[in-house]
Amino acid sequence: MTKPNERKLTIARAMAEATAQEMRIDPSVFVMGEDIGPLGGVYGNTRGLIEEFGAERIRDTPISETAFIGAAVGAAQDGMRPVVELMFVDFFGVCFDAIYNLMAKNIYFSGGNVKVPMVLMTSTGGGYSDGGQHSQCLYGTFAHLPGMKVVAPSNAYDAKGLMTAAMRDDSPVVYMYHKGLQGMGWLGTEAGATVHVPEEPYTLEIGKAKVVREGKDVSIVSCGMGVHNALKAAKKLEAQGVSAEVVDLVSLVPLDRETIRASVAKTGRLIVVDEDYMSYGLSGEIIASVTEHDISALKAAPKRVAFPDVPIPFARVMEQFCLPNPDKIVAAWDQMQAA
């Protein structure tokens, strides 16, 4: 329920609001992507912008991801602050060269002579039977490659602050928003993502994690949709007398290892929840960040709840079986106790 003076927004609206506010004060910001104009973005995050800013600054592109992301790199090196959208993260396959070889490397390659202030927004996540080319998260794929910052908000407050921070950053920021959190009715949405958002512009520091629930028995670390699963699991665990702490990573790169380590130092146990594939990814990185720092902080072997290493299946029963959920997190706790 909305309280008086509360301004609950979806992530989609929070992103659009941040973009509009920045565009009002900075003429070098423009938005480019597929159907981000009159359609307002498939996931609503550019809705209303073309009405205010026109087609010159809210620029629908041909379906030519390599060309428009590459062009954004060029424009960013030349005084502009492009915000570009890769409609689904899964589409990175056709244009990754522009992302990881150009966007991510040109500051370094130039010895700092050029800046690449651009935001690459992209939708992630499944759970709605869209098949394996429209449902991936690929956090690990992007976070693995140096030179770009990567953020993944779990709620509208963070979404707005991160969006403004990303547009003001002189380095490329990959902004990964989860479809299930956007507040799009047709997708089904996570109610916890729609929260109070102040009207005035503000920034959230990129590279800072948040403890979103305090606890003392186990640290559950995740991002995006995983944070909501973790919070629901924490409630279930609370009913069993277990006090779970939940860490929302907010940013994947830079990764706030300090906050993760401090939480685990307090609780002694770690469960990582990741909707991306299990192997070689985020969950392994978080666990390594703790164990290679101080293995004695752990009272039990860490656990991960992640998407198994299979292409994402279409059939609902199969996809839901694979996705992380609160029960799986509780089960991970139980296994930890049984070990």
Partner 1 sequence: MAARKPAAKAKKPNVSAEELLDHYRQMLLIRRFEEKAGQLYGMGLIGGFCHLYIGQEAVVVGLEAAAEEGDKRVTSYRDHGHMLACGMDPKGIMAELTGREGGFSKGKGGSMHMFSKEKHFYGGHGIVAAQVPIGAGLAFADKYQGNDRVTFTYFGDGAANQGQVYEAYNMAELWDLPVIFVIENNQYAMGTSTKRSTKSPSYWERGAAYGIPGEEVDGMDVLAVKEAGEKAVAHCRAGKGPYILEIKTYRYRGHSMSDPAKYRTREEVQKMREERDAIEGVRSLLLTGKHATEDDLKAIDKEIKAIVNEAAEFSKESPEPALEELWTDIYAPLEA
Judged by the rule CB under 8 A, the positions of this chain that interact with partner 1 are 30, 56, 61-62, 64, 66-80, 82, 97-98, 101-102, 105-117, 146-147, 149, 169-171
Least distance from C-beta 28 to partner 1, angstroms? 8
Of the pair 42, 75, the CB lying nearest partner 1 is at 75
Supply the DSSP string of 252-297, one letter for each residue: EES--HHHHHHHHHHHS-EEEEEEEESTTSHHHHHHHHHHTT-GGG
| Residue number with CB closer to partner 1 (148 or 264) | 148
Q: Please, which residue, 4 or 62, has the CB nearer to partner 1? A: 62
Q: Which of 22, 134, 190, 285 is catalytic?
A: 134
- C-alpha 141/C-alpha 279 separation (Å) is 11
Closest CA to 36 of 51, 14, 18, 21: 51
- Is position 134 annotated as part of the catalytic site? yes
Looking up tokens 């592109």, which residue turns up?
61
Quote the least distance from Cβ 37 to partner 1, whole Å. 13
- Determine the residue type at 329: I
For residue 244, the cross-strand partners are 218
Which residue's CB is nearer to partner 1, number 43 or number 68?
68
Give the shortest CB-257-to-partner 1 separation in angstroms: 16
- The residue from 65, 245, 275, 319 that is catalytic is 65
DSSP type of residue 94:
G
For the question of residue 292 being annotated catalytic, the response is: no
Q: Kindly write down the DSSP assignment for every residue of 170-229, as one continuous string.
A: SS-EEEEEEGGGS--GGG---GGG-EE--SS-----TT--EEEE--SSEEEEE-THHHHH
> What is the C-alpha separation between 61 and 241, in angstroms, rounded?
54
Nearer to partner 1, 147 or 326 (CB): 147
Nearest distance, CB of residue 273 and partner 1, angstroms: 28
- Asked if 196 and 8 count as a contact pair (C-beta separation under 8 A), the reply is yes
> Please, what is the minimum distance in Å from the beta carbon of residue 198 to partner 1?
23
Q: In this complex, which beta carbon is closest to partner 1, that of residue 30 or of residue 177?
A: 30
**CA nearest neighbour of 305 among 255, 244, 258:** 244
List Cβ neighbours of 13 (8 Å cut-off, separation of 6 or more): 44, 47, 156, 183, 197
d(Cα 217, Cα 258) in Å, to the nearest integer?
A: 18
Q: Which is nearer to partner 1, 132 or 201 (CB)?
A: 201
Shortest distance in whole angstroms from residue 68 CB to partner 1: 7
Rounded to whole angstroms, the Cα distance separating 4 from 196 reads 11
CB of 69 to partner 1, least distance (A): 7
Cβ atoms of residues 116 and 103 within 8 Å: yes
Q: Annotated active-site positions, please?
A: 65, 134
